[in-house]
Chain A
C-alpha cells in the first residue's frame, strides 16, 4: 500500500520567485489498485512520480510504502519497491544493448548483481515466454539491439522490463504519449493485461482521455498543485471522453 501524506514541492523555496508545484497531496493506494492520474501540462504529475521514486525530495510530507517511511531511502535503493516506465521510449531502455541484455538487467532489479554470467539458458527461456506474451514477435529477435526496434516495440520492452521483478508500486508516466493512436491502444491494452493479471498496484499518468475512462479502478484530477477531483470507478465509466475533456477545461 502506498500512502502519500501532505506532500508539498516548492522549487526555489523561501524566495519571492519560488513556485509551488505540489501542495497538500494526500493519497492512499491499496494493494492491487490501479489508479489513473490526469492533469494539464505543468500540473506536477511527473514531479509527483519523481517524489515517489525518490529522484526528488519533497519540501514537505511523507511517502510511505507498506507502512515504511521512504524519506531516507535513495532512488537506486527504492527501485526494489518502485518500478517505473517513462514517456520517452528512448529513456526507458538501453538502446545500444540487445533486448536480452536489457531484460537480463531489468530482471535483477532489487537483487544483488553478482559475479555470475547474466546470459543463462534459464533466463532465455523465461524471457522468450514473456516476449511471446507481448504477441509482437520479439521473442525471435532477442539478440537485436533495442535501437533497431520501432517506438512501440521499444515501449513494450520498457513495460516488460519494469514488470520482470516484483514491485510494491508501478508508475506509468504517459507511456503511450510518443506512439501513434493504433500502437498506443495496443501498448495500453498490453499494460492493462499485465497489471490485472499480476495484480500490480499501479499509478498511471495519461493524457489520453479514452484510456483514462476505459482503464483503472478510479481516477484523480491533478490541478492547481493538488488533487482537485476524484472519480470513482462507476463515475469514471459513465464519463465519455468528451465530457472528461470538458471537466479538464473547467479547472
Chain B
C-alpha cells in the first residue's frame, strides 16, 4: 500500500465518518436500528449530483442533500411512531421506497457522471476540505450531546420508562434523532458524490454495515464511553477501517481481491461483537 492509497483511504474514511456519526446516533444513542441509511445515502448523492450537473453551487448542493436526508429520516420516524410499524421494518420500508424516489431525483437514469463539473474539491486539496468539514460536523454533534437536549436524546436509548417519567416525548425524540442521523448520512452521500464525480443508484448498498463497522472500531479504540468521545471516535473508526481494508486487500499473502470487501467487513463486525463475549467467558 503506497502513500497515495493511504491518503485516498483517509479521504474515504473521513467521508464515511460523517455517515458513521449518523449511524451512531440511531444505533447507539437512541437504540433504534435504523435501516433507512442505505437509501438516504443515495438520496444525498442523487440530490447533489443533479444539482451540480445543473450548475448549482456545490456547497448549496450539500445543504440540499442534508435536508433531503433529514426528510427521509422524518419519514421513518412517522412510519414508526404514527403507524406503529416496528423500528426495523420502518427503516427498511423507507429505504425501499427511496429507491424509486432516488431514480426520480436522478431524472430516471441510474447514473450521473460529473466529469469536469465544479465541486467542493475544485481547486482545493481534498484532504483539507474533508478534514475541515468533518471537524465542523464533529464539533457540532459533540456539543449537541453535551446539552440538556442531547441528554434527553440519550435517555431514550437508556430507559424508555425513565425517559417518559421525566417528560421526554419518545416519539418526538425518535423522529428528531432519525432526522439528524439521516441528514448526516445524506451529507456524507453528497460529499462522496462530489469526491467520486458520479452519482449511482446502487452507491448506498452497505452504508449501514460500513458505518456500523466504523462505530465499533471507534468504540474499541476509545473504550472509555464518555459523551465527549462518542462522536470523534466514529470518524477515527471510519479512517482506521479504510486503512485496515486497504492493507487487507493489498497484502500479497492473503490473496484477497476487491470483491472480498463485503466478506471482510462482515467478518470484522462479527469478530468485534463476539470478541468481548469470549473474553468474559474465559475468566
B159 A91 Cβ-Cβ under 8 A: yes
Q: In the complex, which of the residues B151, B155, B166 has the most CB atoms of chain A within 10 Å of its own CB atom?
A: B166
Q: B252 within 8 Å of A by Cβ?
A: no
B165 A84 Cβ-Cβ under 8 A: yes
Which of A91, A96, A97, A116 lies in contact with B161, CB distance below 8 A? Answer: A91
Q: B133 within 8 Å of A by Cβ?
A: no
Q: B84 to nearest A CB, angstroms?
A: 16
Chain B residues contacting A86 (CB-CB under 8 Å) are: 161
**Docked complex Cα distance between A79 and B159 (Å):** 15
Q: Which chain B residues (128-144) contact chain A, with CB distance < 8 Å?
A: 143-144
Q: A115 within 8 Å of B by Cβ?
A: yes
Q: In the complex, which of the residues B144, B146, B158, B170 has the most CB atoms of chain A within 10 Å of its own CB atom?
A: B158
Q: B149 within 8 Å of A by Cβ?
A: yes
Chain B residues contacting A75 (CB-CB under 8 Å) are: 164-165
**Docked complex Cα distance between A95 and B161 (Å):** 13
Contact with A along B3-18 (1 / 0, CB 8 A): 0000000000000000
Contact with A along B208-240 (1 / 0, CB 8 A): 000000000000000001000000000000000
What is the count of residue pairs linking A and B with beta-carbon distances less than 8 angstroms? 81
Chain B residues contacting A114 (CB-CB under 8 Å) are: 147-149
With A118-B146, A119-B146 in contact, do A105 and B165 touch (Cβ < 8 Å)?
A: no
Q: B283 to nearest A CB, angstroms?
A: 19
**Docked complex Cα distance between A95 and B225 (Å):** 13
B159 A106 Cβ-Cβ under 8 A: no
Q: B98 within 8 Å of A by Cβ?
A: no
Chain A residues contacting B147 (CB-CB under 8 Å) are: 113-118
B164 A55 Cβ-Cβ under 8 A: yes
Q: Which chain B residues (160-180) contact chain A, with CB distance < 8 Å?
A: 161-162, 164-170
**Docked complex Cα distance between A222 and B169 (Å):** 32
A94 B159 Cβ-Cβ under 8 A: yes
Q: B161 to nearest A CB, angstroms?
A: 5
A106 B166 Cβ-Cβ under 8 A: yes
Q: B151 to nearest A CB, angstroms?
A: 5
Q: A77 within 8 Å of B by Cβ?
A: yes
A118 B169 Cβ-Cβ under 8 A: no
Q: A93 within 8 Å of B by Cβ?
A: yes
Pairs across A and B, CB under 8 Å, 24 listed: A76-B167, A77-B169, A79-B166, A84-B165, A93-B159, A93-B162, A96-B158, A97-B158, A105-B155, A106-B166, A108-B151, A109-B167, A113-B152, A114-B147, A114-B148, A115-B144, A115-B147, A116-B148, A117-B143, A117-B148, A118-B146, A118-B147, A118-B148, A119-B146
Interface residues of B (CB under 8 A from A): 143-144, 146-152, 154-155, 158-159, 161-162, 164-170, 225
The 5 closest A-B pairs by CB, nearest first: A94-B158, A79-B167, A113-B148, A113-B152, A109-B166
Interface residues of A (CB under 8 A from B): 53, 55, 74-77, 79-80, 83-84, 86, 91-97, 101, 104-106, 108-110, 113-119, 161
